[in-house]
């Protein structure tokens, strides 16, 4: 009994500290840096996320693949690995939480974060390729810790190495928070709600499966995500399309509600307690960042392993992530929640999404299917995120402690998969929001300072593209 009281007391204190940081420090820093940096890069590079989109699709399709190029995986595998880390509980639970706290207007700020996040992804992944290093075994490692240390040395001197270490440490914490605790928590919650499976059972099964995959490193992870990502994306999009077809007449009103409440907040209605403009904006930006991880620097770690000699080429591939993750999949979840009216139910998290799908499927006479759609979708999304983030964390461990600590890290990672499945959702999300800022802020500083390098790479690549008629 005493242990239980002490445990509860510690967790309550930890949540209080995290909430204070998120509310008074982290949240403001993200707002000041994230979207403005995305706008700056977009404008200075001529909205490359639009004019380079067609070229990006051709790269992913394999038109310019060079299997003899330096790197570990193809453009497509690098993309699916990165997508597997972003398409997770944020697309199902995170969107519902954004609407629960910020109202329908939060979806607009999800879009803003996603659109300008396309250029943040481009920036960090291009820099990751430029500054990546070759390991003793011939594999490659890259990411913000390397371009912070090497690229910022002339600006920050010895402090560049310290900032790189901060990022690497935050990546390890991020792998446990963003890619681990939040995901296993979402899975276990869905399994308990839908099938009455105890959280510890779900946690144990997930942990075992994760460990079997991640010990094989990036190539095994990429092999799994290459097959899983296309299947799960199509599965979920089709499921949401069924609901939206049933409520097609409500879609225009849903978009109107999103735009109208984006700048004015949302009044109290039904079980919804109301939100201010600031709450609407910050919840949209936070959940947008959690969903697509643009500016966080995590995806750059996966893209750095792509087989290419052209950094900008992989940067263009990376712009596809926020489009798929946030602007398409998150929007479809949001529309399902809004058109069915469940956004004002007062139910939090996955419960809101489940009720929305139930209303949608019941409207067309398909009863008892919704819980399976949500559970399967959440299971696939979250599981893929867990295995992808294990790679990100292992690169942080490698950078700080060397190869010898990677295997011990995997076992610690597995332990937190289990812990996330049995901890409360409030504590998990508070931890996630805090850890995201520890990665994002150093990374955005690097993108700002290294913009001249980025701009030079873009000009060089498109000049070559013109000459080679790519």
What local confidence, expressed as pLDDT, does residue 340 receive? 95
Q: At 136, is the secondary structure helix, strand, or coil?
A: coil
Mean of pLDDT values over 152-174: 93
Tens of pLDDT, residues 93-107:
789 989 998 999 999
CA–CA separation, 118 and 303 (whole Å): 14
Count structural domains, the chain: 1
pLDDT of residue 2: 47
What per-residue string of b and e applies to 440-461 under the rule 16 or more CB within 10 Å gives b? bbbbbbbbebbbebbeebbeeb
Average pLDDT, integer, range 290-294: 79
Whether 35 maps to a domain, the answer reads: yes
Q: At what angle do helices 217-246 and 350-363 cross, to 10 degrees?
A: 50
- Is 8 a residue whose pLDDT tops 70? no
Q: How far is CA 316 from the centre of its chain?
A: 18
The stretch 27-55 carries a mean pLDDT of 91
User: Do the domain assignments include residue 434?
Assistant: yes
- DSSP letter at 88? S
Quickly tell me which residue has 């990100």 as its tokens: 392
CATH number at residue 160: 1.20.1740.10
Least confident of 13-17, 32-36, 390-394: 13-17
**pLDDT (average), residues 289-306:** 87
| Helix intervals (H) in 275-424 | 277-292, 298-303, 311-318, 320-322, 331-339, 350-363, 370-401, 406-422
| pLDDT tens per residue, range 362-385 | 988 888 888 888 888 888 888 988
What's this model's pTM, rounded to 2 decimal places? 0.88
> Does any domain span residue 155?
yes
- Quick one: pLDDT band at residue 4, thresholds 50, 70, 90? low
Quick one: pLDDT at residue 1? 47
Instruction: Decide if 205 is inside a domain.
Output: yes
User: What number of CA atoms fall less than 13 Å from residue 416's CA on the CB side?
Assistant: 24
Sorting pLDDT into bands at 50, 70 and 90, what band is 5? very low
pLDDT per residue as tens digits for the range 445-462: 999 999 999 999 999 999
Token reading at 343? 């956004």
Is residue 3 predicted with pLDDT exceeding 60? Answer: no
- For 247-267, what is the mean pLDDT? 92
Terminal-to-terminal C-alpha distance of the chain:
69
Residue with tokens 């076992």: 411
pLDDT at 150: 95
Three-state DSSP at 435 gives helix
Q: How far from 115 is each of 108, 118, 133, 255, 386, CA to CA, in Å?
A: 11, 6, 30, 17, 25
pLDDT tens-digit profile of 176-186?
A: 887 888 788 87
**Predicted local distance difference test score (pLDDT) of residue 191:** 87
Instruction: Report the pLDDT averaged over residues 281-298.
Output: 83
Closest to 48 (Cα-Cα) out of 412, 317, 438, 449: 317
Asked whether residue 9 carries a pLDDT value surpassing 70, the answer given is no
Q: What percent of the chain has pLDDT over 70?
A: 96
What CA–CA distance (Å, rounded) separates 80 from 229? 6
Q: Is the pLDDT of residue 200 over 60?
A: yes
pLDDT at 129 exceeding the cut of 90: yes
Asked whether residue 7 carries a pLDDT value surpassing 70, the answer given is no
* Lowest mean pLDDT across 265-279, 389-403, 410-424: 265-279
Q: Is the pLDDT of residue 47 over 70?
A: yes
Confidence of residue 55 (pLDDT cuts 50, 70, 90): very high
pLDDT value at 81 more than 90 = no
Q: At 165, which helix (H) or strand (E)? A: helix 159-176
Dihedral of CA atoms 73, 76, 81, 86 in degrees, nearest 10, equals 150
Whether the CB-CB separation of 440 and 297 falls below 8 Å is answered with yes
Q: Which whole number is the average pLDDT over 422-433? A: 72
Cβ pair 48, 119 in contact under 8 A: yes
Q: What is the mean pLDDT of the chain?
A: 88
> pLDDT (tens digit, 9 = 90+) per residue, 301-355?
999 999 999 999 999 999 999 999 999 999 999 999 999 999 998 888 778 998 9
The SS3 assignment for 73 reads: strand
In a domain, 335, yes or no: yes
In a domain, 263, yes or no: yes
pLDDT (average), residues 124-145: 91
Measured between alpha carbons, how far is 14 from 10 in angstroms, rounded to an integer? 6
Please, what's the b/e burial string for 63-93 (b: 16 or more CB within 10 A of its CB; e: otherwise)? Answer: ebeeeeeebbbbbbbbbbbbbbbbbbbbbbb
DSSP type of residue 440: H
In a domain, 470, yes or no: no
Per-residue pLDDT at 48 exceeds 80: yes
81 is in which domain, residue-wise?
A: 24-63+70-457
Query: For position 347, what pLDDT does the model report?
Result: 86
pLDDT band at 117 (very low <50, low <70, confident <90, very high): very high
């Amino acid at each position: 009994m005493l242990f239980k009281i002490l445990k509860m007391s510690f967790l309550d204190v930890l949540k209080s500290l995290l909430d204070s940081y998120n509310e008074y420090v982290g949240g403001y820093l993200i707002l000041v840096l994230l979207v403005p940096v995305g706008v700056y890069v977009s404008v200075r590079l001529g909205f490359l996320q639009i004019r380079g989109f067609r070229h990006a699709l051709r790269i992913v399709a394999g038109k310019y693949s060079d299997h003899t190029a330096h790197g570990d995986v193809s453009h497509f595998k690098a993309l699916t690995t990165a997508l597997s880390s972003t398409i997770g509980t944020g697309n199902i639970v995170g969107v519902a939480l954004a609407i629960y706290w910020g109202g329908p207007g939060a979806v607009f700020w999800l879009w803003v974060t996603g659109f300008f996040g396309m250029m943040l992804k481009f920036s960090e992944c291009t820099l990751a390729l430029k500054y990546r290093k070759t390991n003793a075994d011939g594999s490659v490692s890259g990411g913000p810790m390397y371009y912070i240390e090497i690229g910022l040395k002339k600006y920050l001197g010895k402090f560049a190495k310290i900032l790189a270490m901060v990022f690497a440490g935050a990546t390890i914490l991020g792998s446990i928070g963003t890619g681990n605790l939040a995901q296993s928590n979402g899975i276990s919650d869905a399994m308990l709600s839908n099938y009455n499976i105890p959280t510890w059972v779900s946690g144990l099964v997930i942990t075992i499966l994760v460990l079997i995959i991640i010990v094989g490193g990036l190539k095994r992870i990429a092999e799994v995500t290459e097959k899983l990502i296309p299947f799960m994306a199509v599965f979920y999009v089709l499921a949401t399309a069924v609901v939206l077809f049933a409520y097609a007449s409500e879609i225009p009103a849903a978009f109107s509600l999103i735009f109208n409440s984006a700048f004015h907040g949302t009044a109290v209605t039904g079980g919804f307690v109301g939100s201010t403009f600031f709450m609407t904006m910050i919840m949209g930006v936070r959940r947008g960042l959690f969903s697509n991880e643009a500016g966080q620097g995590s995806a750059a770690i996966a893209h750095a392993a792509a087989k290419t000699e052209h950094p900008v080429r992989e940067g263009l591939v990376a712009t596809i992530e926020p489009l798929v993750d946030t602007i398409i999949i998150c929007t479809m979840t949001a529309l399902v929640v809004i058109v069915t009216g469940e956004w004002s139910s007062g139910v939090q998290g996955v419960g809101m999404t489940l009720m929305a799908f139930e209303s949608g499927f019941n409207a067309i006479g398909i009863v008892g299917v919704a819980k399976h759609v949500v559970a399967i979708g959440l299971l696939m999304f979250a599981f893929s995120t867990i295995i992808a983030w294990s790679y990100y964390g292992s690169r942080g461990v490698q950078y700080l402690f060397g190869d010898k600590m990677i295997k011990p890290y995997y076992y610690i990672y597995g332990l937190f998969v289990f812990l996330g499945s049995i901890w409360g959702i409030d504590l998990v999300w508070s931890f996630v929001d805090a850890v995201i800022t520890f990665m994002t802020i150093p990374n955005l500083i690097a993108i700002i300072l290294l913009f001249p390098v980025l701009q030079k790479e873009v000009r060089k690549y498109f000049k070559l593209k013109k000459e080679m008629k790519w």
